[in-house]
Amino acid sequence: GPVLVPILGDQLTRDLASLRGRTKEDTVVLMMEVWDEATYVRHHKQKIVLVFSAMRHFAAELRDAGWTVDYVKLTDEDNAGGFTGEVARAIERHGPRAVHIVEAGEWRVQQQIEEWPDKFDCEVDILSDDRFVSSLSEFRDWAEDRDTLRMEFFYREMRRKTGLLMDGDKPEGGEWNYDSENRKPPKEGLEAPQRPLFEPDDITRACIALVEERFGDHFGSPENFGWPVTRDEAEQAADAFFAERIECFGPFQDAMVHGQDDLFHSMLSTSINLGLLDPLDLCRRAEQAYKEGKAPLNSVEGFIRQLIGWREYIRGFYWLHMPHLRRANALNAQRGLPEFFWTGETDMRCLADCIRSTRDNAHAHHIQRLMVLGNFCLIAGISPREVQDWYLVVYADAYEWVELPNVAAMILYADGGKLASKPYAASGNYINKMSNYCSDCAYSVSKKTGDGACPFNSLYWHFMDRHRDKLESNHRIGRIYSNWDRMGEDRQRDYLDTAEAFLDTLKPADSGWARAD
């Protein structure tokens, strides 16, 4: 028989390791829409539309190129509902001599795949996913040699390995990292060019109808769906970024403007994570823009660092710490996720805007995820399991391998500081500096305690106070305790009472939406 090549929903890459070198005559590609994947969390409607539509387009593209593709739709009568069951059925249909599959991005799915060699009667080859700069074994070797892992040092290795922005063995411009130039607050009236939105075609419209019918009660609306669903569209999105936005990407990377959802971000994560765009190729294009004088070094270095630094580091970290990362809770946070994370109904203008963007676009940009939503969950002490599942549900680019380290380790410090050297806790002052949210907020950012005070201000000290035993010895954060001590007991009591009064007003979301296991 032929070789059966199952391709998962985030493996939509023409040059995938399992396709490379295969002949069309001798291969059956298998793609599966399955209930398990669509429902392991109650994904945002746009996320399901995106994955299904991109899968269907990819299958069509392979067929046009002469491949045999066996495509199982969600609504097919005998759909087994999961990958293992569907591969078993496909083995019966095609009688393959072997199954070749690229390892899964997520631990949950990889566990299933690793059972296949025992379950199935034919040879099963699990290939490594080489769409990353660093292989998992390379990352393990790098990590094993060190007591503490820091992205910055890993990133330098990746710069050397790829040669990106290298001047011989020195970093271009003399510095590895230009982050200090990338913290410009938004100027009055800061506006970015509109990113291209892609009009749904017949395939996408069919997916929207399917999602409305089967997943009608999921979060969000597919109404203004405009994500790229093919490699061509993703390339157009990348072209627009390199032509119009990369120049300002660096300086305004941490800026937030009410109602301006994308600013100068690339908005390419959904396409990269699906496999439609190659991150290394994007880095080379960014480097080229710098060489041609079209973008400054701080923008280009910043963009490249997100991709070969953070993205790769996050992935390595995930595989190093699964499965226990999902249960980590170093700060013992137990509070339920507030209901307003689903409704957006809060007087905190920053949170309301970030949640609105999340609902409308299945996207929020990095600093919104980190310093508004994430910071709030950290200092309000929301349970990591609930925060994790929320992020996995709401973002169209969310896969556990990239979501979980960002949530558990980067924002919640649930790993006790293995990934980040300190918790990213901040008061309202930071948000005020980097955004225009506060001027029209019902709360006053300059008011520290009492009625109408910005909740971030009191929650910040409540957080610091309740975790003093763990944080005081941290050299990056410990010093702030002398400020706290200097306030004196009455002032401290004001802060703690204000925070507690606020926390008492939080209504938790109905349970049942987060994963039980």
Helix (H) or strand (E) holding 27: strand 27-32
HSE-CB for 359 with a 13 A CA cutoff: 16
Separation CA 460–CA 502 (nearest Å): 12
Give how many residues touch ligand SF4 by CB under 6 A. 14
For the bound state, the minimum distance from the C-beta of residue 104 to ligand DLZ, rounded and expressed in Å, comes to 3
Task: From the list ligand DLZ, ligand SF4, ligand FAD, none, pick the one residue 176 interacts with, judged by a Cβ distance below 5 to 8 Å according to partner type.
Answer: none
For the bound state, the minimum distance from the C-beta of residue 382 to ligand FAD, rounded and expressed in Å, comes to 12
Residue 330 phi/psi, 5° resolution? -60, -30
**Binding residue for ligand SF4 (CB under 6 A) from 80, 203, 325, 441?**
441
Footprint (CB under 6 A) of ligand SF4, residues 376-435: 428, 431-432
Region binding ligand SF4 by CB under 6 A among candidate stretches 15-23, 64-72, 448-456, 504-512: 448-456
Residue ranges in contact with ligand DLZ by CB under 6 A: 8-10, 32-34, 37-38, 43, 48, 51, 104-106, 109, 399
Separation CA 466–CA 482 (nearest Å): 15
Contact 246, 295 (CB under 8 A): yes
HSE-CB for 89 with a 13 A CA cutoff: 18
Task: From the list ligand DLZ, ligand SF4, ligand FAD, none, pick the one residue 103 interacts with, judged by a Cβ distance below 5 to 8 Å according to partner type.
Answer: none
Q: Would you count residue 437 as binding ligand SF4 (CB under 6 A)?
A: yes
Residue 320 phi/psi, 5° resolution? -70, -30
For the bound state, the minimum distance from the C-beta of residue 348 to ligand FAD, rounded and expressed in Å, comes to 18
Q: Would you count residue 338 as binding ligand SF4 (CB under 6 A)?
A: no
Q: Where are the alpha helices (DSSP H) in 151-230?
A: 151-162, 202-214
Separation CA 173–CA 169 (nearest Å): 12
Q: Give the type of residue at 51.
A: V
Task: From the list ligand FAD, ligand SF4, ligand DLZ, none, pick the one residue 402 interacts with, judged by a Cβ distance below 5 to 8 Å according to partner type.
Answer: ligand FAD
Residue ranges in contact with ligand FAD by CB under 6 A: 265-269, 272-273, 303, 306-307, 310-311, 314, 365-366, 369-370, 374, 391, 395, 397-398, 402-403, 406-407, 410-411
Q: Which is nearer to ligand DLZ, 106 or 389 (by Cβ)? A: 106
Q: Which is nearer to ligand DLZ, 106 or 254 (by Cβ)? A: 106
Separation CA 398–CA 377 (nearest Å): 18
**Binding residue for ligand SF4 (CB under 6 A) from 45, 231, 315, 349?**
349
Q: Would you count residue 350 as binding ligand SF4 (CB under 6 A)?
A: yes
Q: What is the dihedral of CA 229, 233, 237, 239, to 10 degrees?
A: 150
Nearest to 494 by CA among 467, 457, 468, 466: 457
Q: Which residues bind ligand SF4 (CB under 6 A)?
A: 348-350, 428, 431-432, 437-438, 441, 443, 445, 454-456
